[in-house]
Amino acid sequence: MTKRIATWNINSVRLRMPLIERFVQTHQPDILCLQEIKCRQAEFPSAPLTAMGYKHIAINAQKGYHGVAIASRVPFEKSFTREFCQKGDARHIAATFDPGVLGAEPVTVHNFYIPAGGDIPDPQLNPKFEHKLSFLDELEAWTKSDGLANGKSVLVGDLNIAPLETDVWNHKALLKIVSHTPIEVDRLQRVFGAGPWVDAIRHLVPEPERLFTWWSYRSPNWEAANKGRRLDHIWLSKTLAPQLKTMEILKEARGWDRPSDHVPVTVDLED
């Protein structure tokens, strides 16, 4: 049986619920992971998601900023959150699915929104960038200590780093731009290696093909310029890799009415 997992930085879940409804109608994900929901727990629009069949919802929210959620058509055994850097930010939510949902064993889906890091790629001058690096260090340590990927895990979300040269429109031009600097890429590679993980997107579409999931609002003609970055990721435990069948980056969603600057990314896992 095939299960579809989607990740999408929605950039305000209440504002963009019509886009979620459009996406669900055409792509029918079984598990939908959202980032930057930008609302308090009680304000989360559960009703329209429930009407679409997502009766199992886990939320980690805060007023006006950040926030992550998992909406699922299949039940999960438990959900939990982890705080990073003692900031009180809502940047992680996880749900553990029973055997038979995503495989023969329990599988935990981790949904992350890693700090963007501001504009100056210097932790001494920019507290936001220092926070981002500290977050990645803590995630690496947690991955090692808990064996995060050694069992059956899926890690998705807006990781706010484009690690490969072909994950950005111009490697040399972005080497000093936050999201593609060598120090960030190194930190993310450490997290990746601590798993060890499989990069689901690049496993199916390897380099040198360019892949982007984000296009800036600042670009007057985002599609023609195509100055994108691959900031949104889906990683799998190596034990889940044989179940990976397909993936899609829904670029057209960037051109929908009042869009997020990120687009949905999906993978299909077949048990």
Residue 30 and residue 269 in contact, taking contact as beta carbons nearer than 8 Å: no
Helix ranges, 151-199 (H): 182-194
Q: What is the pLDDT of residue 167?
A: 98
Q: Per-residue confidence of the chain (271 residues) as pLDDT tens digits? A: 899 999 999 999 999 999 999 999 999 999 999 999 999 999 999 999 999 999 999 999 999 899 999 999 999 999 999 999 999 999 999 999 999 999 889 999 999 999 999 999 999 999 999 999 999 999 999 999 887 877 799 999 999 999 999 999 999 999 999 999 999 999 999 999 999 899 999 999 999 999 999 999 998 899 999 999 999 999 999 999 999 999 999 999 999 999 999 999 999 999 8
Q: Where are the domains of the chain?
A: 2-270
CATH of domain 2-270: 3.60.10.10
Is the pTM higher than 0.75? yes
Residue 268 and residue 1 in contact, taking contact as beta carbons nearer than 8 Å: no
Q: What is the pLDDT of residue 172?
A: 98
CA–CA separation, 71 and 53 (whole Å): 9
Buried residues in 39-76 as b, exposed as e (16+ CB within 10 A): beeeebeeeebeebebebbbbbbbeeebbbbbbbbbeb
Tokens of 21: 């409804």
